[in-house]
Amino acid sequence: MKSELLAVLNEAYPEYVSGEKLSILLHCSRTAVWKHIKNLQEEGYQIKAVRNKGYLLESSPSLYSGHAVASRLIKGNLPYQIRFYPELLSTQNEAQRLAMEGAEEGTVVIADKQTKGRGRLGREWESSMGTGLAVSLILKPDVPAYKAPQLTLVAAVSVVKAIEQITGVKAEIKWPNDLLIEGKKVCGILTEMQADPDRIKSVIVGIGLNVNETVFPEHLHHIAASLSGFADSPPERAQLAAAVLNQFAEDYELYKQSGFAGVKAEWESYSCTLGRKIQVRQNGSYINGTAEAVDSQGVLKLRDKDGILHSIVSGDIEI
């Protein structure tokens, strides 16, 4: 019955199907139709019921589309506009193109698949399977350009919280841009800026989250993992994307009010970097020491064996 009902609603989309028509097609009473609709709604199907029109299937839990994400967004301070693409080279490139054309803050580029996703430091980001999240968000914060990297840290906090809301799984933040679960990378964040000498024109925050991948390229076997490997059931990408955006809208508001200091305590609570012995690679040279703190600007403080405190603004770290 469930799949027949869904098939009729899917077929009719974007039109409504009346309760009467459903009861005839499915050979049951209109009350039975209503009960099945309620069950489906409880399973996460978004079905709109309108008197005198009938039922409209707005999104299915397994459907990944712009509408499936947008219909789960909470109207808040950041007016999101979702641009969903079945396939792109890179959501980051598309967001940059849109930003140059004057796209507004809150424009979000999402791709089901990326064929040339980009990571930090010119690395590749593998997400061509249609199983992960590839999201790039256009922001126009009123802050000096040197503060733009702080948005990586804010987004990391938002993604950790969204992952926990949807799956119950706890991820940790490896400064500055990785999220790890049980030591394996599940998410990377790439923040890029377009700026004039005196002001930021736009910041693009790109989030790549491994959700349901089961195979990784050989060189990533020991370092990467998917959220589904830790969750009780396979997470839905539309639900996750919406949770990330809803959470980010809240955290970004805090950031605009109080800067990185507004989310610092949360960042620290999710960090797997602080208190650990780490190695930082900066411009080809290495510094070893203990990650002591992040300051109110998101700068990592590293104490070396001679007791000298280094301020690490950017770089790659090994734990």
Nearer to ligand BTN, 118 or 184 (CB): 118
The token pair at 74 is 């909470």
Residue window 46-85: x/- pattern of binding to ligand BTN, with contact defined by CB under 6 A: ----------------------------------------
Q: Which long-range contacts (CB under 8 A, 24 or more apart) does 280-284 make?
A: 280/310, 280/312, 280/315, 280/316, 280/317, 281/315, 281/316, 281/317, 281/318, 282/312, 282/314, 282/315
Determine the interface stretch with ligand BTN among 18-26, 88-96, 156-164, 279-287 (rule: CB under 6 A).
Answer: 88-96
Q: Are 161 and 254 in contact (CB under 8 A)?
A: no
- Contact flag: residue 125 with ligand BTN (CB under 6 A): yes
Q: Which of 141, 206, 289, 298 binds ligand BTN (CB under 6 A)?
A: 206
- Contact flag: residue 134 with ligand BTN (CB under 6 A): yes
DSSP notation for 61-98: TT--SHHHHHTTPPP-SS--EEEEEEEES-HHHHHHHH
Q: Which of 44, 119, 259, 315 binds ligand BTN (CB under 6 A)?
A: 119
Q: If you ran DSSP here, which 8-state letter would residue 141 be given?
A: -
- One-letter identity of residue 147: K
Closest residue to bound ligand BTN by CB: 188
Compute how many residues bind ligand BTN; rule: CB under 6 A: 22
How many angstroms separate the CA atoms of 132 and 307, rounded?
42
| Residues pairing with 49 in the sheet | 55
Nearer to ligand BTN, 90 or 271 (CB): 90
Q: Which of 19, 149, 176, 188 binds ligand BTN (CB under 6 A)?
A: 188
Minimum distance, C-beta of residue 317 to ligand BTN, in the bound complex (Å) = 12
Residue numbers of the site for ligand BTN (CB under 6 A)?
90-92, 114, 117-120, 123, 125, 127, 134-136, 177-178, 188-190, 206-208
